[in-house]
Amino acid sequence: MSEKFNRRHFIAAGTAAAAMPFLGRGASAQAAWPSRQIRMVCSYPAGGQTDLLARSFGEFIAKQVGQTVVIENKAGASGSIGAAEVARAEPDGHTILCSISTTYVMNRAMMKNPGYDMDKDLTLVSIIPGAGLPLVASPKSGVTTLDEFVAFARKSGKVNFGTYSAGSAPHMTINELNKQYGLNIEPIHYRGEAPMWTGLMEGTLDVAMGSYTAAQPVLQSNRGVAFAVHSKKVDALPNVKTLPEQGATSKFFTVSGFTGWALPKATPQPIVDRLAQLCVAANNDPKVKEVLKTFVLEPALGFKETNALYQRELPVWMESAQSLGLQPV
């Protein structure tokens, strides 16, 4: 009986191991992960872009590893509440953070004590580079290019430019344009993109900047004209050039935001690598593809590519953020 029991379990274990995708030979730490339910902490509210990415990737990961992936939304304080919770978790791969570049980069400059230290407490595993953010002008401005915007701003003397939060990419864009062209663009900060785009449609704003997905109602109703995009082209706006293509010289216009996954710092590298491999493999999943397409996002990157991009762009983000002159709170 004992021999039969052991043989049956040996065969079952071997079959399960053979069926597990992406598992390298000799990676015993990988084989042990996950041993129970995985908790993915999304540090932004349910229903938004970050949440939908967490759920689509989480569903794919669950299918691959044979364990449930539960999404928990821990929103607040620019993602720092969720990030701090993951930073304190056991470094065994069963608690994962899904958040955005604000949490991973900007909180360094914007918060005195976010509750976690990105360098000491978290390991960035895989990121999805963000799409170019369109700059959209009110039709009454007559602006269709960056040069026309600069001329409009100089003639007006003051331009109301909407952002979706202080310290955001639009806020830094305003600062860099003011520096290069000697303008007096005033940032008008909103709590999120929806009210910002409403402000543009209602005529409160001269210009706004944000994601292409959220800007679509404005563009499709002809209540806004895209005259530039930050850092990279948007396929859906093939005739709209990037800021650098139109003469803007700030290094900040060469970087982009991102969404990504992180683990507690002491998590064994084989587990980090396995999760990164799963994120990359998820790029081919139909549901993941649909979410990426909806938000005009690039595929998830592997661990090495992720951290190379992060280390390359971090100094640029920090320099631009610090030049805003905002006092950390």
Question: Could you report the per-residue pLDDT of 144-195, keeping only the tens digit for each?
Answer: 999 999 999 999 988 999 998 888 899 999 999 999 999 999 999 998 899 9
User: Is residue 160 located within the same domain as residue 173?
Assistant: yes
First to last CA, the chain: 66
User: Is residue 120 located within the same domain as residue 156?
Assistant: no
Boundary of a domain, candidates 192, 225, 254:
254
User: Is residue 270 located within the same domain as residue 219?
Assistant: no
C-beta separation of 51 from 71 below 8 A: yes
Boundary of a domain, candidates 254, 284, 311:
254
The two three-digit tokens of residue 136, written as one number: 């959209």
Boundary of a domain, candidates 228, 254, 280:
254
Q: What is the pLDDT of residue 131?
A: 87
Report residue 299: phi and psi, to 5°: -65, 160
Domain annotation covers residue 1 = no
Question: What is the average per-residue pLDDT within 267-284?
Answer: 98
Q: What is the average pLDDT score of the chain? A: 90
Q: What is the pLDDT of residue 18?
A: 38
Domain annotation covers residue 244 = yes
Q: Name the 3-class secondary structure at 92.
A: coil
Domain that holds residue 145: 134-254
Q: What is the pLDDT of residue 20?
A: 42
User: Is residue 288 located within the same domain as residue 238?
Assistant: no
Q: What is the pLDDT of residue 143?
A: 98
User: Is residue 273 located within the same domain as residue 292?
Assistant: yes
* CA–CA dist 314, 329 (Å, integer): 21
Whether residue 14 is predicted with pLDDT greater than 50 in this model: the reply is no
Question: What is the average per-residue pLDDT within 237-256?
Answer: 96
User: Is residue 104 located within the same domain as residue 211?
Assistant: no
User: Is residue 163 located within the same domain as residue 225?
Assistant: yes
C-beta separation of 238 from 112 below 8 A: no
